[in-house]
Structure 1
Amino acid sequence: MTADKLLIPINSFLQCETPKEWVEEAVKPDNLAVLLIDHLICELKAAQSAMFMIRKYAVDKAGSDALLAWLQPFETLIYKREGDWRELAAKNKLTKSVIPKTDSPYGQSLIDKMVLLIKEELHHFYQVLEIMDEYGVEYRSITPCRYAKGMLRHVKTFEPDALIDKLIVGAYIEARSCERFAMLAPHLDKRLGDFYISLLRSEARHYQDYLTLAKEIAGPDQSEKVDNRIAYFAEIEAQLIISPDNDFKFHSGMPTL
């Protein structure tokens, strides 16, 4: 499937297009480092979020502890600056053999989709580290973007609505990432542009997997309720993208600089 065809459902799902002002800001040479560092962090956070859902909703304590241990080298590299990033590719060995809780009706479906997502996000994490090394960009701490927090603060506090909302938020984050990769690619050098285009297929599937899970967990008799929540978060997401934002990041809003 071509990039244009992949983007048709993405652009239909998103309520607004990324402003051209953001693209103009993103392609400035001075912003390359923060763009790559924030992309790196986003890949890790996506893996962490998916991991959290598996641990909270689908596995027992032993499985949860095993998952934490598996993710630790990736987190240690970022949060403690310890370890050799070149060794991480060999550590991305998570499998679907994690056993779901017996009382979780959607446990295996959650595991199947989220394990694949985690493996892909951490593969992308490693690829971004490779590119940062090629471009001479050193990792440094940066302030978190308002985007994900701006949506997560609207997540309901009771289950299963909280999980459904988190899955919908995940779908929007993946869809916006996909859209921005496609918008940036033509304006970057070939190495980085080709890399962003290569991410489109998996990012497009991730957003669909999140939505599929949200609808499965809600059940067929709650489809209208899920659609209403999707529409609700569509407006929140769009406002975060088009409203003024003085902190440039991969998912930031309209630049005010």
Structure 2
Amino acid sequence: MIDLSEIHSFLWCETPDAWIEQALQYQDLMLIDHANCEKKAAGTAMNLMYRYVDDFELLNKMSRLAREELRHFEQVIAIMESRGIAYPQIQASRYAAELRKPIRTHEPGRLIDTLIVGAIIEARSCERFNKLAPFLDEELKKFYFSLLKSEARHYQDYLGLAKKAAAGEAIDERVDIFLTLDKKLVESGDSEFRFHSGPVSGE
């Protein structure tokens, strides 16, 4: 089992038990949105590769990350297909969009903040997979536990690249801004269940 103590100490809260209960109730919807999250994660990495072509470390790490996220996407849709779960278009949760609102528009602030957000999303995904997996059937439990190592590395890659982009300047204040938002979004009620939503209000 992978040690997630670094991720647990990085994030400011755990996924609420109410979200876990709802994930078990809406497993089809959870898988559909999980597939969407993997596609978006690959797209984010590709966008960074197109935007910041002068950083070979970033290019290499984002290329590997994009390949891994697309592989995870393929694994999710294979599970969906085997279970007869359709893949409709659904609206994204507010989580990622809200988390990105404080991203600065000038460089290098834009890059630093984008990488910090990437680190938090990967850390939250990792924490959520780990907390949810023990309650799932054997196939999903094995699959979600198998994702932990790569998700934890993605978190470390994003955070390391953010520190590098800051060129010696501390990024703690920026990290705190986004972690505050993550905590708020994870703990507050949402209108619809999604992989990165808070608990659905009224359930």
**1:51 maps to which residue?**
46
Q: Is the 8 A contact 2:122 2:154 kept in 1?
A: yes
CA distance in 1, matches of 2:193, 2:28: 11
CA distance in 1, matches of 2:172, 2:73: 32
Displacement of 1:201 in angstroms is 0.1
Matched, 1:41 2:56: no
Q: Normalising to structure 2: TM-score of the pair?
A: 0.97
Matched, 1:231 2:194: no
CA distance in 2, matches of 1:240, 1:36: 20
Displacement of 1:246 in angstroms is 1.5
Structure 1 or 2, whichever has the larger Rg, is: 1
Kindly provide the CA deviation profile for residues 160-207 of structure 1, in whole angstroms up to 9, marking residues without a partner as x. 101110100000100000011111111110001100000000000000
CA distance in 2, matches of 1:13, 1:113: 21
Q: Normalising to structure 1: TM-score of the pair?
A: 0.77
Q: Is the 8 A contact 2:22 2:199 kept in 1?
A: no
Displacement of 1:254 in angstroms is 2.5
CA distance in 1, matches of 2:89, 2:97: 18
Aligned positions of 1:105-254 closer than 5 A? 107-220=55-168, 222=169, 224=170, 226-254=171-199
Kindly provide the CA deviation profile for residues 195-251 of structure 1, in whole angstroms up to 9, marking residues without a partner as x. 00000000000000000000111112x0x2x11111111101100000111210000
Q: Unaligned regions of 5+ residues in structure 2, if any? A: none
Structure 2 counterpart of 1:195, one-letter code: F
Structure 1 residue runs of 4 or more that deviate by more than 3 Å after TM superposition: none
SS at match of 2:88: coil
Q: Is the 8 A contact 2:7 2:127 kept in 1?
A: yes
SS at match of 2:14: coil
Structure 1 counterpart of 2:43, one-letter code: Q
* Aligned-pair Cα RMSD in Å: 0.8
SS at match of 1:246: coil
Aligned pair partner of 1:26 in 23, 27, 30: 23
Q: Is the 8 A contact 2:93 2:194 kept in 1?
A: yes
Identical columns (%): 49
Structure 1 counterpart of 2:179, one-letter code: A
**Number of paired residues?**
202
CA distance in 2, matches of 1:248, 1:195: 21
